Amino acid sequence: MNLYMMRYSPDIRLKGFYRVTSRYILYYGGRKPKYPCVKLTKEDMTKLNAVDMAWLEECNQAVRKKFYDAWAKDFLKRFEAELENERGELLENLSTDVRESSGPIPGCGSGQDVRGVQENH
């Protein structure tokens, strides 16, 4: 993202982040506007007044939030897909384990009533 300054004109139409004053317009964006303007350097930015600097910080926060929101959405989508794959593998392994061990449990299923029977050790 770059910061551009241009002389104020009521005919200027911009999209994105811009700040209009009575003397100039600040534009913060990725592309150079089609209007005559100057790209501000880091040194130029140190000369901005407090209101312009506060506006620029708000722009940076909005850009970071937009980037973070997109990153988080993508991350959560990938994480959810990985969890679903893991769940599928676990269920597949579980059903395989159940099929392999689906024989009678020793001491059960013989029709013998084991209620109240104590084992002797």
Asked whether residue 108 is assigned to any structural domain, the reply reads no
* Model confidence at 6: pLDDT above 90: yes
Specify the number of domains making up the chain.
1
CA dihedral 17, 19, 24, 26 (to 10 degrees): -30
CA dihedral 67, 14, 30, 26 (to 10 degrees): -100
Asked whether residue 9 is assigned to any structural domain, the reply reads yes
Asked whether residue 102 is assigned to any structural domain, the reply reads no
pLDDT at 77: 94
Asked whether residue 104 is assigned to any structural domain, the reply reads no
Asked whether residue 13 is assigned to any structural domain, the reply reads yes
pTM for this prediction: 0.55
pLDDT at 100: 63
pLDDT at 102: 58
Asked whether residue 115 is assigned to any structural domain, the reply reads no
Q: At 69, is the pLDDT very low, low, confident or very high (cuts 50, 70, 90)?
A: very high
Q: Which helix (H) or strand (E) holds 81?
A: helix 50-100
Asked whether residue 99 is assigned to any structural domain, the reply reads no
Q: Which helix (H) or strand (E) holds 53?
A: helix 50-100
pLDDT at 108: 58
Asked whether residue 75 is assigned to any structural domain, the reply reads yes
Domain of residue 79, residue span: 2-92
pLDDT digits (tens, 9 = 90+) for 27-62: 998 889 999 999 999 999 889 999 999 999 999 999
pLDDT digits (tens, 9 = 90+) for 74-111: 999 999 999 999 998 888 888 776 666 655 555 555 55
